[in-house]
């Protein structure tokens, strides 16, 4: 059975969502690792930092199908959703909550990504 265009779109969006989550996880892992190891070059030997870097690579690999399917001016800003995920992850996992006005900024990033993703015909 051949997969249709709809299946390809679902697969691409699934890769994108997974990529964004893994990318945000990478940011949180690198932050945790450098907090523990310090900001020196030795932090690169910290297993948590290495895990974060691996997440970055996996995130990029999963992001490529989405990038290939959209104009670059639409695709790249979608990565901004990672900022939203990092803000949520930092709050829930580390207790690093943003202020009200900072959440307004996170909301605006989300709205901006949505506006840029609208298909203009």
Positive or negative: CA dihedral 46, 47, 48, 53? positive
Alpha-carbon distance of 112 to 121, in angstroms, equals 19
Give the model's confidence band at 49: pLDDT under 50 very low, under 70 low, under 90 confident, else very high: very high
What share of the chain has pLDDT > 70, as a percent? Answer: 95
Residue 33 has pLDDT above 80, yes or no: yes
Report whether 63 contacts 80 (CB < 8 A). no
For residues 26-44, give the mean pLDDT: 87
Q: How far apart are CA 49 and CA 28, in angstroms?
A: 9
User: Which residue ranges make up each domain of the chain?
Assistant: 5-117
Instruction: Please give the pLDDT value at position 71.
Output: 86
Residue 102's pLDDT is what? 97
Closest CA to 82 of 61, 116, 110: 110
Question: Could you tell me if residue 52 is left (phi over 0), alpha (psi between -120 and 50 degrees) or otherwise beta?
Answer: alpha
């Amino acid at each position: 059975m051949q997969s249709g265009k709809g299946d390809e779109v679902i697969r691409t969006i699934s890769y994108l969502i997974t990529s964004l989550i893994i990318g945000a996880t990478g940011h949180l892992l690198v932050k945790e690792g450098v907090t523990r190891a310090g900001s020196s070059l030795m932090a690169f030997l910290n297993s948590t930092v290495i895990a974060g870097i691996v997440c970055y690579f996996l995130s990029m690999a999963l992001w490529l199908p989405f990038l290939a399917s959209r104009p670059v001016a639409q695709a790249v800003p979608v990565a901004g959703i990672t900022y939203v995920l990092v803000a949520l992850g930092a709050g829930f996992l580390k207790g690093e909550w943003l202020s009200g006005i900072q959440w307004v900024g996170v909301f605006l990033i989300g709205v901006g990504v949505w506006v840029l993703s609208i298909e203009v015909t």
